[in-house]
Structure 1
Amino acid sequence: MTSPSAAHERGVLALTGVTGTLGGLVLEQLADLAPIVVVRDAARAPEGFEVRVAAYADADECRAAFAGVETLLLVSASESRTRRLDHATVIAAAAAAGVGHVVYTSFQSAAPDATFTLGRDHHDAEQALRASGMRWTFLRDGLYQESLVRFADADGLVRGPAGDGRIAAVSRQDIADVAAAVLRDPAPHAGETYTLTGPEAPTIADAIARGGVATGRTLRYEDETVEDAYAWRRDAWGAEDWQLDAWVTTYTAIADGSLGEVSPDVERVLGRPARSIEQTFAG
């Protein structure tokens, strides 16, 4: 039960990303708080909540959507070549609107020189929040356990230049649970950076095989060179360079250990251990 003082500190709560899986899980847990939901498309907004429409790239829309909001869940923008600018725009708009505290979904390896290229986007967003004058909490999410099985092709094969690297993948539900706990009582979490991982760091091959068993599939990992990784992805999808870099460096970040450090922060916030791969897929 949330204390009156926590409710006072939280003030008006707004959630972004609620039409996605992670934001939707957070909304389920915080529905009793009647949060404002900020969406790009009103037609996709969940029913029963105050809806405000804003795209991260539109400063005016964001300022209007965040008016009167004290605490904001800022789910990171979808991958795109303009993502850094979109983050900078929405963060500046939140500050201009008078938001007091932003809880931002970042990434485990966020750094200016992160191997995983999109981790650099998250570093920029974190720096913008630090400089904004707003209070902040960073949830540095590890790679999702759920994504392990989605990497596989129709034959159950996952290919990438991850070598025998280890991965401390985390359940998306655990991230949502932590986010909900922080948003219910944000004051104690101001200025905190939580790295959210699973309870162990198996090799990528073991993690994928276990994800397969847990979902009733036979999955296997096959290592490949960086050059081959770029070549077949470029041929298969013809993606822009930034997207190819993001796909391939997901694996090279595993290879160099960037995603292999196990953190106690899920248990630190929730008072229980993080879910294992098997527990995640068991529901």
Structure 2
Amino acid sequence: MPHTAPPPDSRARDDAAIPDELAESAVTGAERDAREAADRAQITIVEARDESAARLIAEVGARVWGPRGTLAPNELRALMHAGDPVHLALDRSQPGRDVVGFAVGFVGWSPLLHVHSHQVGVVDGHRRRGVGYALKLAQRHTCLSHGITDMRWTFDPLVRRNASFNLGALGAHAAAFHVDFYGAMDDAINEGDASDRLEAVWALARPLPSRPSAAPAIRGELVPLLVERDGRPQPTGADPSAGAMLAIPADYETLRRQDPSSGRAWRAAVREVLRAAYASGLRVGRVTDTGYQLVAGDDA
């Protein structure tokens, strides 16, 4: 089916909600947030605009995901030429100012005008210093500078650290669940695993939350949907409901590498819960130290 161009007023819903003076304030605040995050991470973030930058991103992407896990230089160059948000993170702490991370996004219009943040990669050895956070904030500033107020991307619901970052540190919400979103994947991180994904939606003009760690688990008041027994998930038989608790492994990435059978069991069990939850109007809400709390869709 051919793509249909969006109507000229496709972003009116968001722009109408943001007066000009507030929009200007949001852009100014986003620029400050991005600059401060880059300073904390000791990096300089630049927009990538030429063929040499495309090659650098492809090389860094291959270091993160392997040679089959990132875009080719010609594809990256095309995105840059079209004006899509593509950023490089340069390490200020080293004389060579090596590239330690990148972010690649592109403009989309379904269901409304937004940027899809396709890939954010940080070189091993430079993680946990705020590089990824600073790159996301640079994307946010670029989007708001062009009048785009929504950003979207997908993430693996079983990787708790990513969920905590996306939903907690950034303040996005998990708007949808997609079963095997990318189909079979063959990159160095995800090879052999199903590509179930939650879709994050980030309202960019809103102030950033404080940067929390995963919220502490509420014990004794949430209905558990899965419990862990001998490293594997055990359904409790409870139906998904607002306030119910969905457990996920503390470190799924290590689990699937060391015990693929248990990894597949968790994938299947979490898939069934999330599929039922989203079909009934529930959403993943906050991230706790054991998993997710489900909430009604309007509260997500």
TM-score by shorter chain over 0.5:
no
Which structure's relative contact order is higher, taking Cα pairs within 8 Å and 6+ residues apart?
1
TM-score interval (norm. to shorter): under 0.3
Higher strand share: 2
- What TM-score results when the alignment is normalised by the length of structure 2? 0.26
Higher helix share: 1
